[in-house]
Structure 1
Amino acid sequence: MKRFFLLLVVAAIAGSATGWGINYTRYGHRTAHFGEIGYQGEITAENYQDHLDKLVQVKNPQVELPEGAEYDFGAMAPNDTGEHTFIVKNVGEGDLTLRLGATTCKCTLGSLKTDRLKPGEQTEVLLEWNVKTDSSTFGQSAQVLTNDPNHYAIDFRVNGRVVREMEMVPEEFTFGEVAAKENIELTSKIYSYLLPRIEDPELRFTSDALNELAEVTIEPFEPSEADGANAKAVQAFDISIKIKPGLRQGPLSQNAILSFRHRGEGETLDQGLADAGDGETGEKGMKKAFTAAIVGKVVGSISMIPNPRLTVTDAGNYVYDFGVVKQEDQRKAKTFVVLKGANREHEKLSVQSVVPEDVVRAKFGDPIQRATMTLYPLEIELQPGAERTKRLARDRDDYGKVRIVSDAPDGDKLTIGLTFSLEPI
């Protein structure tokens, strides 16, 4: 059996050697039928590696942005158009290719005839935009794709503020709550972007009472870097308003109107500003106006500090809600009464009366002086009787009451409403 396998191996080797010899004799010593392998008559087996090196870039480009990739245009008016040119430079050793990617604005590559930059070359990327937004800020971007392995995409961006022809900081005159016997002092800055410069500014109000009681000062100044986003305004004005006591108590919502003259082209109105109303024109130009709100609340010299149980109604009245009173620790309420006014240090508050007298008791603690007010701690206590007592605010007489007065000759008064359901002893 072993002899048989040995003979089989010898026969296989002999057959393979015979086949190779026949093939070599017939074909191995001859030149290929189509000649030696070549490409375009220049590339052979000996020089193909040099040709491959030329096709594959082995030296990398490197992007440099001498002026950065972001531009702040400062302030622009709605619907204005702008443009900015960014610089792209190749500081690498290989060729730099550029192509436009995603964009939110009109973006064009520079005036190169090719999108390829040799080492040391540079080009421009121009971004153009139109300020179409209702927001106070605006931004656009464009992306340029490159073959720099460390900077595949360049994100160029422009941004800035959207300003109207006139801006006010703050945007409205606000004074919060002010006692009826106190002066109201307001300040603001108005910036104008109008050209030519405006003339003869004058501030008035839509309320006759405000016009009678207010003293207005308008001081022009030149905008500077200290004005932040409005540093590029053409003009600026400091507005100071002092309103003497005399306004009716309650919410105040009126307009302040800055009228002025503007010598526009053809003496016509500019968009965004209103005619001052009289339609008057002359050598100094059309009379126009800028409007801003003035809001706040005039209150009595006596008020309170609200808390979860103490609320103030739209009419300015205060109501303290005890809820359902079953336990002794629920019968007492502590709050603060506020006294304002120039003469508060010479006034004193006291509890004049309570309703119902057999149920409600109230007393003040020692007053606490603050910079602009005096705080009076007030303690209100309910005294239960043999029967349940209710004050549920079903009508104007269905309240418990605490009446507070000032000892000043012309001092204010304050009535605190109480609601409760007091269980009997």
Structure 2
Amino acid sequence: MLLESVLLDGNPDMKTWIVVSVAAILGLGVGVGSALVRLEQAPWDGSAAPTKPNESAATIPTGPHPTAVAETDKHDFGALDSHATGRHSFVIKNTGQAVLKLTKGSTSCKCTASLLGDNAESADVPTGGSTEVTLEWKGKGFKGPFNQTATINTNDPEHPRLTFTISGRIVTAVSIAPTNLVLSGITAGEPATGELKLFGYLEKPLKITGYEVTDKTTADKFDLAFEPLPPEEIAKEQDARSGQIVRVTVKPGLPLGAFQQKIVLKTDAENAPTVEIPVQGTISSEIAIIGSGWDDGRQILSLGTVSSQAGLERTIRILVRGPERNDVKIKPLSATPSLLQVETGIPTEWQGGQVVQIPLTVRIPKGARPAHYLGTDEDKLAQITLETTHSKAPQLRLLVRFAVVN
């Protein structure tokens, strides 16, 4: 009734005010009513309204919860021996107000293992407590830098995952440079010395505790000496922490021709107790050899593959120069295998008497049993040793490569 009387009054400004007021009153009434209905269905507990999944507001824990704190999450092993297993433990503390639950997560490769306690899959850390997570890296079969991770899952709402990283470089415990020693053109009757560098890559300084010359027939002709490698030389080798200079001296008395020896160094490195050094060279003098199949650089006579039914005979020449050339006598001392037949001929003058040449005949007789002395491994070749009366070359040694087939 009030509304009707006002509208009939004919005042246009009053009409507008009344309409707006009524709309506002109606909207307020609807809103209050909706709120009352919601309160009846879900009473308000005083907390803020939850955010929608796509809203950017951070989750705020409500009530007691654990807090995972890692003292550090990275460890660099530095240089790690390829035979060793690197292991480092990270500490996780629970500084929260509830039990912290930890479980193993993923690792970046099979070489890294995350451990909780005694290799357990999970661990519970009480308030104020701590536990260790151990990461392991096995360097076997690997060389160079590595960087690996392991993840631990937690029930800490602010840190649901902890990632730990280990890094370093896999190196050998010991190396030697060069890897073999070559002493070419040693003059008979004179000593010769070669030098190598032995590097240690581990924290403990490398020490040489002894050595062995493996071929006992000429072992007394080799002598070794050691001294620390200067710091500036060690610095030139990446990751090296210590080093030794190894000097190998070949004393007079080895037979003329090619020689081979193997020296085994003994060290205090747990994973590299021995280091092998192949040694090879040539003893030369006023005596030389020429002829078909003769390799003067390697001092090897190649006879090829020989038929047992046909056999083989090869004659080469021994040349003698110098003041002793007319007085030198040469004769076979030994041949291995015994099927090799060796004999020397009558000396003759050559090049106007400046050189004396002595024929040397090597024979594989008909009917010889099958044999194999081919290949590149000089230790497995046949060998002929000659005895001479030359003052600086009491022996000549020739390696022979051949095979006998039926």
State the TM-score bracket (shorter-chain normalisation).
Answer: 0.3 to 0.5
Q: Could you state the TM-score of these two structures normalised by the residue count of structure 2? A: 0.38
Q: Could you state the TM-score of these two structures normalised by the residue count of structure 1? A: 0.37
